[in-house]
Amino acid sequence: MKIITPETILSPTRQLSGMSIAFDTHIRAIGQLHELLEQFPEADFVEVPLHSLVMPGLINPHVHLEFSANKETLKYGSFMPWLNSVIENREDLIGGCDANCMSKACDEMLKNGITTFGAVSSYALDLEAAANAKQKVLFFNEVIGSQATMADTLYDDFMSRVEASLQVKREGFYPAIAIHSPYSVHPALIKRALKYATQHNMVTTAHYMESPAEQEWLASNSGEFKPFFTEFLKQDYAVNTSESFLSLFKDKPTLMTHVVQADHGELKQLAQDGHTVIHCPISNRLLGNGTIDLEKLDVNKVSWVMGTDGLSSNYTLDLIEEMKIALFMHANRDLTTLATELLTNATVNSAKALGMNTGEIAVGKEADLLIIDLETTPSEQLPVHLLLHGYNIQKIYINGNEVS
């Protein structure tokens, strides 16, 4: 058992002072120091800086590790030029990032306070890095393929990757399933993957309504995607509409990534079926997909959380930086309220969406903690300053074990 007495606890909407936390693998008690000493007289003390903050570890539910070699290779500014550059450079990017490269990306996320992440895996090349990561990992095996004639072969490949991830036996590693997108996965494949996920109680995620090109292709089989599908796949129609795609997920709440181009009816359906949106503002900007309308999410009662996406469409896997960008991007919202909302969505709300018992400083939660040196006593705008300045993370605990 350990006891920590920081100057401030942020959890993440409550800001407490003068309180101590007793924890082993889980948080066992929160209260006055003398009360915890009576309850746990043999506990060890954790030394902290004078102006220390304890808050939950951050959760990044959407990252692509396999493209972590990208820096200046891919073309930014618009979705289709970016996608074409991915296809053109895919072999070089994948070959340029081995397990050590991907492990470095995991370590960078940890350094920036991310204690849980969701790795969306296209080829399972990141399995070793994810299995050996210090963080808790949801390993999203991704199914992709829009051609019906290839469905059985693609499903077999997908299942071989799922089975490989199931062989990883370590605490905090959870095999999961990703459906790439409505334009790239045949409904027969989606149905089979979702059935498996439901039968095995696996978390699911998908890309949905990311770009104007996707929206136009699904709605009218036209636009920038048409020459792409005609040239590469000899396909002149979308295998799903937006409506038919969502209907497949009706009984399986899923983390839907991006959702920038969704309309009122689609957002209403997402909320009705219990889905959660993953907001990746930097990726959306770099790929020219626009800015998600948080007011529309609120009006339609759609839950949302924060993610970084991968280094194929971002310059960092730092979730604090992602939230800082969002703080400036959504300038119509009250500054402190938005900062608090962002931190809440990057901790406790992400944990809920992923079905995990973490993301909060509360009795019974797994002890995934960040100890941060604030350098001065915090003001009532602590959430704003955390995002603006980042500060120095002194120690990181996952399930009560120090990992930094």
- Which residues are marked as active site? 210
Contact (Cβ atoms closer than 8 angstroms) between residue 365 and residue 342: no
Using only the alpha carbons of the chain, give its radius of gyration: 21
Residue 89 has φ and ψ, to the nearest 5°, of: -110, 10
210, 261 contact by CB (below 8 A): yes
Contact assessment for residue 205 and residue 262, using Cβ atoms and an 8 Å cutoff: no
Calpha distance 330→310 (Å, rounded) = 22
Residue pair 238/182 in contact by the 8 Å Cβ criterion: yes
How far from chain centre, in Å, is Cα 150?
30
C-alpha 329/C-alpha 291 separation (Å) is: 8
Alpha helices in 22-78 (DSSP H): 33-39
- Which regions of 246-374 does DSSP assign to beta strands (E)? 255-258, 276-279, 303-306, 369-373
8 Å CB contact between 225 and 214 = yes
The residue assigned the tokens 């500014």 is 77
What is the spatial distance between Cα 129 and Cα 54, in angstroms, rounded to a whole number? 28
Q: Which position has the token pair 């009705």?
A: 272
Q: Please measure the distance between the N-terminal and C-terminal CA atoms of the chain and give it in whole angstroms.
A: 19
3-state secondary structure of 194: helix
The answer to whether the CB of 62 falls within 8 A of the CB of 120 is yes
**CA torsion through residues 121, 239, 313, 178, sign:** negative
